Amino acid sequence: MALLLHIETSTAVCSVALGKDGDLLALKETKEGMKHASHLTVFIGNILKENNFTPADLDGVAISMGPGSYTGLRIGVSTAKGICYGANLPLIAINTLQAMTKPLLDNTDVLAQINNPEKAYYCPMIDARRMEVYTAFFNNKNELIRDISADIIDENSYSNELSEREIVFFGDGSSKCKEVIKSKNGIFIDSITTSAIGMIKLAEIKFQNKEFEDVAYFEPFYLKDFVATTSKKNIFK
């Protein structure tokens, strides 16, 4: 049984949750966009204070490890490491795509839209550039059955899998795929986004199994190298 702080910054959502023994205790999050540097530490300070805790009361810190935004992941991981160092706490890393899938599999309203939820594949999508998404396939037990990858989506994407079963697409990357993937077995759910809520039960299991990361050497799972962009505007004009 544990009191864990959960940090999710892999997308435009900045989310912080307290979990007690695998259940949600408190949540703070915003979907304002990539403003994690200004929101994250405020959320953490407030959520602890409002629930009468300090970092010393925590049993561990869970971080959404990626894939996702390079900058967002770095902010989240560096903040989590700082708390772990300062309070001598274990660090728990949670697969971002698996954490996205967990709330969907617990949502009976969503599952009711699927003809055969036990056979279906569940495909979380995080928006990358243009028609690219970070994604994977999970089964109805939230087990990874297709490796995490960066996929460029076109009309033939996942055609073999879609010919055999329903695939549930969700996450902020799925909306741009909706007009491209036309199979009758493609089910698109708009209401699921990244949130620290999806990390809580997964992190509790890892805590009980003592599956901790090396705080000094842990790095986010970026999937792709960071690509810097250069403005086309001449600032000296």
Residues 6+ apart with CB under 8 A from 235: none
d(CA 7, CA 64): 6
User: What are the backbone dihedrals phi and psi of residue 15, each rounded to the nearest 5 degrees, phi first?
Assistant: -140, 135
Handedness of CA 206, 100, 221, 158 (dihedral sign): positive
- List per-residue pLDDT tens for the chain, 237 residues long: 799 999 999 999 999 999 999 999 999 999 887 889 999 999 999 999 999 999 999 999 999 999 999 999 999 999 999 999 999 999 999 999 999 999 999 999 999 999 999 999 999 999 998 899 999 999 999 999 999 999 999 999 999 999 999 999 999 999 999 989 999 999 999 888 999 999 999 999 999 999 999 999 999 999 875 444 444 444 444
Rounded CA-CA distance 178/120 in Å is 18
Non-local CB neighbours of 230 within 8 Å, separated by 6+ positions: none
What is the number of alpha carbons within 13 Å of residue 234 lying toward its C-beta? 2
How far is C-alpha 189 from the geometric centre of its chain's CA atoms?
A: 16
Sign of torsion over alpha carbons 133, 111, 100, 41? positive
CB of 124 within 8 A of CB of 151? no
- Domains (range + CATH), the chain: 3-95+194-208 (3.30.420.40), 108-189 (3.30.420.40)
